[in-house]
Amino acid sequence: MQLLEQTYNLNDIDAAASRLWSAVKQYRLITLTGDLGAGKTTLVSALGRHLQIDDAVSSPTFALVNEYTMYQEGKKYPLYHIDWYRLRNEKDAFAAGMEEYIEDAMHGRCWCIIEWPDKAHALLQRPWVAVYIGTNEDGTRTMTVNAEV
Ligand code: ADP
Ligand code: MG
């Protein structure tokens, strides 16, 4: 089910992140797919600003998981920014404890944003939201957002 499609550049990425959050916040698990350089980390940074995260959002590629504190309707929640780029498969993801983050998300205890979800697709649990970012010829990005329910 398509929730949103929008084209944006760096000048209006904060508005794009705000629209994205409005469309997806009822879901706890969000996947982010796009080529290297598509703008995945940049989008998570913009979401971080929208969610009033204090720490600057960086790429989790070397950490696998970056934990932030976010605020939603006056309450504090962990936001896990997870990058499966360096995992090979579900076995790696399971060994790294990834199913626990997903369980927490399913129980409403946190939000998870996972880059490179296809590395361990079988670990995902419905419902989740899949965000795809593509680069256009003029350098703008188009994101397509689907709910997998
Ligand atoms: P990824 O994490 O997908 O590899 P990055 O977030 O590191 O990609 O972004 C790669 C480059 O693309 C950065 O230089 C960033 O400034 C630029 N970029 C990201 N989003 C946009 C956008 N919407 N419009 C134009 N440039 C963008
Ligand atoms: Mg990145």
Can you tell me which atom of ligand 1 is nearest the CA of 140?
Answer: 24
pLDDT in tens, 25-59: 999 999 999 999 999 999 999 999 999 887 666 66
Q: What is the pLDDT of residues 109-120, one digit of tens each?
A: 999 999 999 999
Question: What DSSP designation does 56 have?
Answer: P
DSSP SS3 for 113: strand
**116 within ligand 1 shell (Cβ under 6 A):** no
Run of H or E residues at 111: strand 111-115
Atom 22, ligand 1: which residue's CA is nearest? 9
Q: What is the mean pLDDT of residues 2-19?
A: 98
Which is the closest atom of ligand 1 to the Cα of 139?
25
91, pLDDT greater than 80:
yes
Ligand number, closest to the Cα atom of 39: 1
